[in-house]
């Protein structure tokens, strides 16, 4: 079947005024020529392909987590904490270490949790599946030493990877950076770009910026990144944003809330109404002309405070995750969509007739399988 092409199409109908818009969606499944097919061996955006294991890894610095919470976060990404079975994998990970502070040419680097632990049996270090004992190790000098201070209730039962590729045993409840590992796959809808962090509650990606800007300049910068200042619609998102703020440098950061349009009537970007509130002080007591923008962290907490919009602060941007598009070239008259091509017909048809139109073109009515497809179509209709 070399060089041949197979199509399975589906069609969507959407109302525009009183006219039906018919969108024909064609899923291209190519033969060995490989045209217009996303590779199933690629890593997701922000993930690195590890040559020795063939898996994908990603470094997470913020927000820092305990070993157990880091493992849960990795599992949410379809993987787990990284397993290091040989020196080649260890060297690969060490090569991609990130510094959190540099002065001149001297830098300090993050320490990262890995999937190794001796929780079950002291001195017997196992990987995540509890049955695989570590056969390759690269402990630092004098490690593991199970160090225990008077202030620590527990033994050092978890392992971290630090600069120069050495390992150290550490308390499992310590807040650390971590490395996740997952199988290779094609791009998943909504995956965040490197340095952006996905909020499980909202499904959007967030990034803290240290550069201090006025509220309007911060908003303009976020829009240049394809997003806007962060919106907080529930307590879980508020906690996530606060963890991101405090895990970086702390201090105040702009959020998207403001009453610039109408005094006392606060809205989020895109005029979203306020459904969740977390004020430090009731804004009705402090609000006056010129104090129209909102920061988090003014008193060192996750509470919100009114601020003069011309003041400068760090800020957090928010945007939707990366949505993949089909590789290769779509047929004439078709547009690239999410892992496939689609075509739009501005025809007045009932549902049954619309389906017939599509079937004559080798397709059928559209099935919307994920948020990325919805967003893509919203931008096309």
* Together in a domain, 222 and 249: yes
> What sections of 195-297 are H helices per DSSP?
215-224, 235-248, 283-286
Q: Are residues 280 and 354 located together in one domain of the fold?
A: no
Q: Are residues 60 and 177 in the same domain?
A: yes
One domain, residues 227 and 164: no
Q: Residue 201 domain-assigned?
A: no
264/342 same-domain check? no
Instruction: Identify whether 187 is part of a domain.
Output: no
Q: In this structure, is residue 84 part of a structural domain?
A: yes
Question: Which residues, other chains included, contact 15 with Cβ-Cβ below 8 Å and sequence gap of 6+?
Answer: 21
**Both ends of the chain: CA-CA distance in Å?**
36
Look up residue 280 and give its two tokens.
């430090």
Four-CA torsion 107, 113, 118, 122, nearest 10 degrees: 30
Number of domains in the chain: 3
CATH number, residue 65: 3.10.100.10
Q: Is the pTM of this model over 0.75?
A: no
pLDDT digits (tens, 9 = 90+) for 97-146: 876 656 666 677 788 999 999 888 888 899 987 678 889 999 988 888 87
DSSP classification of residue 133: B
In which element (H, E) is residue 65 found? strand 56-65
Query: Which of 292, 319, 346 is the last residue before a domain boundary?
Result: 319
Residue 122 included in any domain:
yes
Q: How far apart are CA 64 and CA 230, in angstroms?
A: 20
Q: What is the domain extent for residue 112?
A: 48-182
Q: Give the integer Cα–Cα distance in Å for 59 and 41.
A: 20
The answer as to whether 191 is a domain residue is no
Most confident among 10-19, 193-202, 249-258 (mean pLDDT): 249-258
Distances (CA, A) of 276 to 34, 169, 203, 219, 231: 49, 42, 17, 21, 10
CA distances from 78 to 136, 184, 322 (A): 25, 10, 17
Q: Are 31 and 2 in contact (CB under 8 A)?
A: yes
Convert the pLDDT of each residue in 264-286 to its tens digit. Answer: 899 999 888 899 999 998 888 77
Q: Is 127 helix (H, G, I), strand (E, B) or coil?
A: coil
Q: What DSSP letter does each residue of 308-353 carry, written as one string? A: -TTS-EEEEEEEPPB-----S-PPTT-EE-SSSEEEEEE----HHH
Kindly state the tokens that stand for 375. Answer: 């967003």
CA–CA separation, 165 and 151 (whole Å): 28
| Tokens matching residue 180 | 């996740």
Shared-domain flag, residues 272 and 306: yes
Give the pLDDT confidence of 38-83 residue by residue, as tens digits. Answer: 333 467 767 888 988 889 999 888 778 999 999 988 887 788 999 9
Structure tokens at 73: 């976060």
Instruction: Please indicate, yes or no, if residue 189 is contained in any of the structural domains.
Output: no
pLDDT in tens, 203-243: 889 998 888 999 999 999 999 888 999 999 999 999 889 88
Q: Is 197 inside a domain boundary? A: no
Pair (14, 98) in one structural domain: no
Of 33-42, 177-186, 325-334, the least confident: 33-42
In terms of domains, do 226 and 329 share one? no
3 state SS of 205: strand
Considering the domain architecture, whether residues 222 and 261 belong to the same structural domain is answered as: yes
Same domain, yes or no, for 122 and 11? no
Q: Is the pLDDT reported for residue 293 higher than 70? A: yes
Place of tokens 């290091």: 84
Q: Are residues 129 and 239 in the same domain?
A: no
pLDDT given at position 327: 57
Distance CA 366, CA 358 (A): 10
Q: Answer yes or no: are the C-beta atoms of 73 and 200 closer than 8 Å.
A: no
pLDDT greater than 70 at residue 297: yes
Decide if 332 is inside a domain: yes
């Amino acid at each position: 079947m070399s060089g041949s092409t197979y199509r399975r199409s589906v069609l969507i109908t959407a109302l525009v005024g009183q006219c039906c818009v018919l969108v024909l969606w064609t899923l291209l499944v190519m033969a060995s020529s490989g045209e217009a097919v996303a590779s199933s061996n690629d890593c997701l955006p922000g993930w690195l392909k590890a040559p020795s294991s063939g898996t994908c890894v990603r470094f997470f610095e913020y927000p820092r987590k305990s070993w157990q919470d880091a493992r849960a976060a990795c599992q949410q990404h379809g993987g787990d904490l990284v397993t290091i079975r040989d020196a080649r994998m260890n060297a690969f990970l060490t090569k991609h270490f990130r510094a959190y502070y540099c002065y001149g040419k001297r830098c300090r680097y993050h320490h990262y949790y890995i999937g190794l632990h001796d929780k079950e049996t002291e001195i017997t270090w196992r990987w995540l599946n509890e049955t695989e004992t570590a056969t390759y190790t690269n402990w630092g000098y004098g490690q593991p030493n199970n160090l225990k201070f008077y202030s620590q209730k527990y033994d050092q039962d978890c392992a971290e990877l630090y600069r120069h590729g050495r390992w150290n045993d550490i308390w499992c409840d310590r807040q650390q950076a971590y490395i996740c590992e997952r199988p290779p796959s094609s791009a998943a809808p909504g995956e965040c770009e490197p340095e952006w962090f996905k909020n499980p509650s909202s499904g959007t990606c967030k990034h803290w910026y240290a550069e201090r800007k006025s509220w309007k300049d911060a908003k303009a910068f976020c829009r240049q990144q394809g997003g806007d200042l962060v919106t907080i619609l529930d307590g879980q998102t508020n906690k996530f944003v606060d963890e991101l703020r405090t895990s970086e440098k702390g201090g105040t950061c702009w959020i998207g809330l403001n009453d610039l349009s109408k005094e006392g009537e606060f809205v989020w970007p895109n005029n979203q109404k306020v459904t969740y509130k977390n004020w430090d002080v009731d804004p009705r007591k402090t609000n006056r002309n010129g104090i129209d923008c909102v920061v988090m962290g003014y008193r060192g907490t996750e509470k919100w405070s009114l601020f003069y919009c011309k003041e400068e602060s760090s800020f957090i941007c928010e945007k939707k995750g990366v949505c993949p598009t089909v590789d290769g070239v779509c047929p004439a008259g078709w547009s690239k969509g999410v892992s496939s091509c689609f075509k739009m017909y501005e025809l007045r048809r009932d549902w049954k007739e619309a389906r017939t139109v599509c079937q004559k073109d080798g397709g059928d009515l559209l099935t919307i399988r994920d948020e990325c497809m919805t967003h893509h179509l919203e931008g096309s209709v």
